[in-house]
Amino acid sequence: MDATVVPAEADRKVLVRLDAVEQLYDRKIRILGPIDLEIREGEFLSLVGPSGCGKSTLLRIVAGVLQPTRGRVFLGDRLLEGVNRSAALVFQSFALFPWLTVVDNVALGLEARGLGVHERLKKAEKYIDLAGLAGYERAYPKELSRGMKQLVGVARALAVEPELLCMDEPFSALDVLTARTMRDLVLDLWASPQVLTKSILLVTHSIEEAVSLSDRVVVLKANPGRIADMVDLTSLPRPRRADAPAVREVVDRMYTLLA
Ligand code: ADP
Ligand code: MG
């Protein structure tokens, strides 16, 4: 294939495929599904929906930290069993270890992946740098602003060079301006040739956030969590201004759907 030809969205390799996935609690209360969903190579996919509709549950199933009650998860054509080693997580609460410095927090996941100490530090420093935290390698989380803590969370996830970056409401604990800066930064990292991760799964309750960032948006409805719509935004160029008519139209359509 000609290297300049970008494959059509639908022709891209499937990284993760959910096949009739359901989550039940107490063996009777269905909170999610059945869900069929594909996450494709190179795409920025968002899950939006009201609180409690199962977004975090779905993300945890994709990351392999939660085994679905029913249905199957495939990585390519291989059945996922246990933790998804090709995915890394970013949490709303940052989830940093307060007794570790920035560089040690970022390097932590690399030890589990079998890298030697020198390589761990090199990789951690690369992603700290890309996240804009150069100079803070030896700082402790308590010395950082909330936005900077989340940058550490992003650097830590990217450092393991996962195929898929999974983020669960990563900007919800940040003030409006910091959140905006972080969204731009995540888009820059995603587009950067230095960052190997090329697929992002973002969970958010913000329709505006999903529309400003994503290639595709999965709109979920609650009780049980089901796919209400799948919106393809690949034809909307970035950066997307909230007041652009095409953007407003999609946002309004999603609000109507979720009303
Ligand atoms: P969201 O992230 O969209 O807010 P969650 O995935 O966190 O939704 O939760 C979906 C639903 O599952 C909620 O109604 C929640 O109360 C329920 N739930 C989550 N975890 C448990 C659990 N361990 N036991 C019972 N119910 C749970
Ligand atoms: Mg959640």
Which CATH number does the domain housing residue 122 bear? 3.40.50.300
Q: Are residues 134 and 81 located together in one domain of the fold?
A: no
| Cis peptide upstream of residue 170 (ω within 30 degrees of 0) | no
Q: In this structure, how many other beta carbons lie within 10 angstroms of the beta carbon of residue 161?
A: 15
Whole-angstrom Cα distance, residue 224 to residue 242? Answer: 31
Q: Return the SS3 of 132.
A: coil
Tens digit of each residue's pLDDT (9 = 90 or more) over 97-106: 999 999 999 9
Q: Are residues 223 and 202 located together in one domain of the fold?
A: yes
The CA–CA distances, whole Å, from 98 to 89, 126, 140, 141 equal: 18, 21, 7, 6
CA of 72 to the centre of ligand 1 (A): 20
Domain end marker among 182, 197, 212: 197
In a domain, residue 72? The reply is yes
What residues make up the domain containing 187?
90-161+173-197
Residues 6+ positions from 247 with CB-CB distance below 8 Å = 211, 212, 236, 240, 241
Bridge partners, residue 220, by sequence: 227
Q: Are residues 149 and 97 located together in one domain of the fold?
A: yes
Q: Are residues 189 and 250 located together in one domain of the fold?
A: no
Is residue 52 lining ligand 1, measured as CB closer than 6 Å?
yes
The CA–CA distances, whole Å, from 174 to 36, 95, 146, 180 equal: 32, 14, 7, 9
In a domain, residue 7? The reply is no
In a domain, residue 3? The reply is no
98 neighbors 178 (Cβ within 8 angstroms) = no
Q: What is the pLDDT of residue 252?
A: 95
Residue ID of nearest Cα to ligand 1 atom 27: 25
Q: Are residues 192 and 128 located together in one domain of the fold?
A: yes
Whole-angstrom Cα distance, residue 147 to residue 57? Answer: 25
Q: Are residues 18 and 100 located together in one domain of the fold?
A: no
Q: Are residues 25 and 57 located together in one domain of the fold?
A: yes
Best probe residue, ligand 1, of 30, 57, 227 (max atoms within 8 Å of C-beta): 57
CA of 55 to the centre of ligand 2 (A): 5
More confident residue, 41 or 2: 41
Best probe residue, ligand 1, of 24, 26, 31, 166 (max atoms within 8 Å of C-beta): 31
Tens digit of each residue's pLDDT (9 = 90 or more) over 47-82: 999 999 999 999 999 999 999 999 999 999 999 999
Tokens standing for residue 72: 């199957």
Tens digit of each residue's pLDDT (9 = 90 or more) over 181-206: 999 999 999 999 999 998 999 999 99
In a domain, residue 4? The reply is no
Is residue 92 lining ligand 1, measured as CB closer than 6 Å?
no
CA of 23 to the centre of ligand 1 (A): 10
In a domain, residue 1? The reply is no
Q: How confident is the model at residue 114 (pLDDT cuts 50, 70, 90)?
A: confident
Q: Are residues 29 and 95 located together in one domain of the fold?
A: no
Q: Are residues 29 and 105 located together in one domain of the fold?
A: no
- Ligand 1 atom nearest 223 alpha carbon: 14
Closest ligand to 35 CA? 1
Q: Are residues 60 and 104 located together in one domain of the fold?
A: no
Closest ligand to 48 CA? 1
In a domain, residue 6? The reply is no
The structural domain count of the chain equals: 2
Q: What is the pLDDT of residue 9?
A: 58
Q: Are residues 97 and 183 located together in one domain of the fold?
A: yes
Q: What is the pLDDT of residue 10?
A: 61
Residue type, 28: K
In a domain, residue 257? The reply is yes
Q: Are residues 113 and 53 located together in one domain of the fold?
A: no
In a domain, residue 166? The reply is no
